[in-house]
Chain A
């Protein structure tokens, strides 16, 4: 990339995009995007293909789904492609492990076709649907199969990163089978013992031909080998930023059972008056909260700290858990925003995720500043996070795999604790209402989001307040 000889005496005009408040050059009244990459980081140049490797019941699908969820949340379009799924669609009914026997020619043919179909969809996702990362979830236990994938990637200009899970602990494998295989469509009509027995035999079918990633033979490949559910990792040839982030993430997750509790601060004075943001004290109502025995985190805003104080346990303050900065609209009521900044108010309704308050933040900014919180939550066990409406929506979206469009409208009422417990491939949510009245602060997206709308239409969905 070289500096051109362009005469610098006519610098390009800059205009600020009204939604995201990003400065961009423009010409003839239209924005020019040639020279800018925004959001602070161009994560990937060529798309990346993540390829799982490992015997059945080693957590490949668990890792695939979790990684996909994390990457999408931080803004990297990612999709997983589970070859087993393709097989289930092709072979409508699963009879037994015999399908997977290495001498079952018919079975092998079908499985090869399914892998090809999946790779085809990968190609489409990465080249035509603006995907940046595809997670190819299958056993991929032979060097031959992996070589096929490498060639496919080379032909299409994709980077390849292998994630191998190696585990010989029978207890862990048993637990895996119980948690996720028994509920699989393959075993809906079997009892537990039958299912476990069949699955064990299925694993055996792969064992003889399993060629683990080798330090010498595969030294030119980029990969991470996860051993014994995270006791040990071997990391080889990390090529770029996104691979580095993936490695960091995979090294921080664990499967020890635990629960994460998310709640907002107790009702505050500003909540009662219908004002947003600010740093105020609690109302008398807000001081009733159940006590618990966990790691407790708060923001640095007084209302979350007061809430934590009531629990009488040690807690840690995180500045990054502070509520979204509403900039010039801090401490305003929605009515006041409509009166003073009707254009801003409409833009926000048009794209609430990307909309940035003037001199403030967007939900998209929040996600970026919350990433270290998510990383630390992954490392920890039982944690109670006392935070704020927008922040809680972002954290919840991560755990429940909600899209950017849904995220800003997730319901996170005051005086309700959400208990999240990882189970199988997802997260169980229990909503615990503390039976203490509080004002509603949830504003639905109104029907009319046009800049030209009337005040009444804009304020239609504002919740009641004093």
Chain B
């Protein structure tokens, strides 16, 4: 017998089948459980290919971060890491010489260990995508991986990065290799010298993916940091999304500024949502923001707002062109729009508790969840990747989602990230991550950050529920 049950947390209807196995009564979810369609059937291995200092790890980390953010459980397996654990101390490039049999043995063992962990990730940890980050520069090594994947039923998608521009390579080495554990006690020139010889060790045996012989493989070749791409045999949705993402990212230095609107009238009253205008302090912030931005001397700054009055009023003070995005609108609190937390507790105590239990997945009645927000912000992220200097004037929940993407925060931390009013966050990509600078523009504002209370049970009493509500009028 199948029943339709309504999930109170996510506000979705699921078909459950009651089946009896021996003495147990099991509920089986037949339809998709998540609030977004599941696009992965078999697990997928993304396999990097390329000489050292071609951006493989940069791509691997970024791709992993993006996939996790959009809800596809992904993990990266860096074979160099395994090697560092096996061979505690790195002496010099000689380790990588093709005739160093001892080292070859170790390196093969490391790759095998990494593949073993890939299997564990897929079978025991519900992973969907594994990014296998290593040079994988020989056909032999790639054949081993293909055979491994075939045996286990995993799909394989290769990402090869090809670049011969000596300046780019030198810059790569400067940005990420000098900080590597391998070179921690070396001076810069020594390290550079050693690394270049390391690259040479791979060069002789490097066989790029061959367009003829490998025409049945699924892959993307990235030439010269994105000038040109060759895409072959894209098999499914996730590979298509990966290709689209890889084709939109770039390495040109730039900064992304995130800010909320100035304090609003409803903020002052402790009410959530709505479409109110700025309070006098909020207006002051808008002016301060204009001064701040001017002082940053940003080249070609794009300014984005939501469709809501408070972000637009904030942008107006800048005196420049801005674009309104509906996708940047604050989370829709449905029936709770414009309520205070006290009112939510009074009218919807169960909802209030459910939200504290799982703030990421919780959907307001007739409203949205943080999970929904991520889904609607994906085109914003994609465009942010394409752009250079951008100032995004948005809202608390929105800013948390965007910040989580840039700072690789998991779903359970995302809804509790601190994004106070009247504070600009400047994000600058650096090495494998993002530098964050926080600028409080010295205009007082209410605090709108509500921490998770200790008691999240439905049967808690109002005081326990309201313990962490920030002050308001």
Which A residues are within 8 Å of any B CB, using their own CB? 1-4, 6, 8-9, 11-12, 14, 16, 21-23, 25, 35-42, 215, 219, 231-238, 241, 244, 247-248, 251-252, 297, 300, 302, 305-306, 309, 314-320, 330, 359, 365, 368-369, 376, 379
Contact = CB atoms under 8 A, between A and B. Distances in A.
B316 A235 contact: no
B32 A3 contact: no
Interface size classification for chain B: 35 or more
Contacts of A11: 283, 286, 313, 316-317
Contacts of B155: none
Contacts of A330: 366
B320 A35 contact: yes
Interface string B104-144: 00000000000000000000000000000000000000000
Nearest to A305: B13
A3 B38 CA distance: 45
A309 B290 contact: no
Contact of A300 (B13, B293, B309, B337): B13
Given A40-B327, A315-B31, A317-B37, A232 B231 contact: yes
Contact of A316 (B38, B234, B248): B38
Given A11-B317, A12-B316, A247-B247, A379 B240 contact: yes
A365 B383 CA distance: 18
Given A251-B240, A302-B13, A306-B4, A3 B319 contact: yes
A319 B375 contact: yes
A41 B283 CA distance: 26
B473 interface: no
Contact of B247 (A36, A39, A235, A365): A235
B472 interface: no
Interface stretch (B76-84, B162-170, B222-230, B444-452): B222-230
Interface of B: 2, 4, 6, 11-13, 15, 30-32, 35-38, 211, 215, 227-234, 236-237, 240, 243-244, 247-248, 277, 283, 286-287, 290, 293-294, 300-301, 307-309, 312-313, 316-328, 337, 366, 372, 375-376, 383, 386
Contacts of A231: 215, 232-233
A22 B286 contact: no
B232 A40 contact: no
B234 A251 contact: yes
Contacts of A248: 240, 244, 247
B248 A244 contact: yes
Most buried by A among B4, B31, B283: B31
Contacts of A314: 30-31
Contacts of B237: 376, 379
Contacts of B234: 251
25 contacts: A1-B301, A3-B290, A3-B293, A8-B290, A11-B316, A14-B316, A35-B319, A35-B322, A38-B323, A41-B323, A232-B233, A234-B231, A236-B229, A238-B247, A244-B244, A244-B386, A248-B247, A251-B244, A309-B15, A314-B30, A316-B37, A318-B36, A319-B35, A330-B366, A359-B337
A300 B4 CA distance: 12
Given A251-B234, A302-B13, A316-B32, A3 B320 contact: yes
Contacts of B247: 235, 238, 244, 247-248
Given A3-B294, A317-B31, A36 B317 contact: no
Nearest to A298: B31
A305 B4 CA distance: 9
A272 to B, nearest CB: 20
A41 B325 CA distance: 7
Contacts of A306: 4
**Residue of B35, B231, B318 contacting most chain A CB atoms (<10 Å):** B231
B386 A241 contact: yes
Q: Which 7 A-B pairs have the closest CB atoms?
A: A40-B325, A8-B287, A316-B37, A233-B231, A235-B229, A4-B319, A3-B294
Contacts of A320: 375
A306 B319 CA distance: 52
B423 to A, nearest CB: 19
A309 B4 CA distance: 9
Contacts of B31: 305, 314-317
A214 B288 CA distance: 53
A21 B15 CA distance: 38
Contacts of B277: 14
B309 A14 contact: yes
Nearest to B296: A3
Contacts of A39: 324
B288 to A, nearest CB: 9
B321 A37 contact: yes
B392 to A, nearest CB: 12
A300 B327 contact: no
Contact of A6 (B2, B300, B319, B366): B319
B310 to A, nearest CB: 9
Nearest to A20: B307
A167 to B, nearest CB: 15
Contacts of B243: 251
Contacts of A316: 31-32, 37-38
Contacts of A42: 323
Given A36-B322, A248-B247, A302-B4, 9 more contacts: A3-B293, A6-B319, A14-B309, A37-B322, A40-B326, A231-B232, A235-B247, A309-B4, A365-B326
B321 A35 contact: yes
B229 A23 contact: no
B318 A23 contact: no
